[in-house]
Amino acid sequence: MLIRVFRDKASLGQAAAEQAATAIRNAISRQGRARIVAATAASQLEFLGALTKMPNIDWQMVEAFHLDEYIGLPVTHPGSFRKMLLEQLIQKTGIKNYHLLAGDDPTPSKVVRTIGAALASAPIDIAFLGIGENGHIAFNDPPADFQTDDPYIIVTLDEACRRQQVGEAWFSDISQVPTHAISMSARQILKAREVLAVVPDRRKAQAIRDCFEGSVTPMHPASILRQHPNSTIYLDAPSASLLNRELQKAIQDHGQVTIKA
């Protein structure tokens, strides 16, 4: 696993987009298509904005999968990840082949089976992730299930996760945040050929330190990314601010740094 740290969100997003674009182009060149998993949230805005402007990507050859979605939330709600995915990626690029998790379907288990079967039908070339304030990847809150091989699972959201959504202004108060969600499983994420996590902002700093300077544990879900042979974590200076002093000095001296973890 590599950790790359940049001064700010803009430079982070641009660098991550360049790596993502290269992976997509290479997959299309190698096999005629690219299968991707996309994350959506406030933390992904700069990255997705830069990615949709990358040149020489044949988006018609891209198949996109949804990382997670609240159960019971309509696509029209400002907090819907389907809505964000449509607005931030699909509509901007013209991707035609995409799979959205209908969280407001009356039978979420059917959605899990149907989209899960499509996801598992062939390897994912690159998965884009964020990391939550509680260390979650997708909606795998602590203690995360590191054992199941199911592509998607139905999960109960913890309070820290739900409060983060209020803090990001998607919901007016915690009573409005759904208590359950459909989430890609941790082990399914690890099956991607490449993983790219975009994690800016000071509010993520404690989770970053816990996940990448502590042990690999379900209590810090993103720590499992350290077991992936081709994963890159993109941080800005604020989100990296609680990592070790040597790293902080390198950031100050060079504006960015790449380390093995």
| CATH number of the domain where residue 156 is located | 3.40.50.1360
- pLDDT, residue 245, reads 76
Q: 103 in a domain, yes or no?
A: yes
- pLDDT, residue 165, reads 74
Question: What is the tens place of the pLDDT at every residue in 58-94?
Answer: 999 999 999 999 999 999 988 889 999 999 999 999 9
Lateral strand order in the sheet of 180-184? 68-70, 180-184, 152-156
13, amino acid identity = G
Indicate the pLDDT class of residue 17, thresholds 50, 70 and 90.
Answer: very high
SS3 50: helix
| Size of the chain, expressed as the number of residues it contains | 261
- pLDDT, residue 140, reads 95
Q: Which structural domain range is residue 169 located in?
A: 8-234
Q: Is the pLDDT of residue 169 over 90?
A: no
- pLDDT, residue 166, reads 75
Structure tokens at 123: 């390897």
- HSE (side-chain half, CA atoms, 13 Å) at 199: 34
Q: 254 in a domain, yes or no?
A: no
- pLDDT, residue 244, reads 79
Region 146-164: mean pLDDT is 90
Measured distance CA(120)–CA(60) in Å, rounded: 21
Region 22-46: mean pLDDT is 95
- pLDDT, residue 260, reads 61
Q: What is each CA distance from 6 to 10, 19, 65, 224, in whole angstroms? A: 9, 14, 28, 23
Contact by Cβ (8 Å): 212, 261: yes
Q: State the residue for tokens 């109960």.
A: 156
Indicate the pLDDT class of residue 255, thresholds 50, 70 and 90.
Answer: low
Measured distance CA(120)–CA(187) in Å, rounded: 12
Structure tokens at 28: 């299309």
Q: 102 in a domain, yes or no?
A: yes
Region 184-190: mean pLDDT is 98
How would you class 14 by CB atoms within 10 Å of its CB: exposed for 0-12, middle for 13-18, buried for 19 or more?
A: middle
- pLDDT, residue 78, reads 86
Measured distance CA(184)–CA(6) in Å, rounded: 28
Q: 66 in a domain, yes or no?
A: yes
Q: 154 in a domain, yes or no?
A: yes
Contact by Cβ (8 Å): 142, 218: yes
- pLDDT, residue 256, reads 61
Measured distance CA(5)–CA(18) in Å, rounded: 15
Pick the residue with more confidence: 214 or 186? 186
Contact by Cβ (8 Å): 149, 187: yes
Indicate the pLDDT class of residue 162, thresholds 50, 70 and 90.
Answer: confident
- Average pLDDT over the chain, rounded to whole? 92
Q: 251 in a domain, yes or no?
A: no
DSSP summary character for residue 86: I
Contact by Cβ (8 Å): 63, 33: yes
- pLDDT, residue 259, reads 60
Measured distance CA(144)–CA(48) in Å, rounded: 26
Q: State the residue for tokens 């059917």.
A: 110
Q: State the residue for tokens 């050859």.
A: 61
Number of folded domains that form the chain: 1
Q: 252 in a domain, yes or no?
A: no
Measured distance CA(90)–CA(80) in Å, rounded: 14
Percent of the chain with pLDDT over 90: 76
Region 159-181: mean pLDDT is 80
Q: 178 in a domain, yes or no?
A: yes
Q: Is the pLDDT of residue 261 over 60?
A: no
Contact by Cβ (8 Å): 82, 117: no
Question: What is the tens place of the pLDDT at every residue in 243-253?
Answer: 877 767 776 77
212, amino acid identity = F
Region 155-178: mean pLDDT is 80
Q: What is the DSSP string of 188-219?
A: HHHTSS-EEEEE-SGGGHHHHHHHHHS--BTT
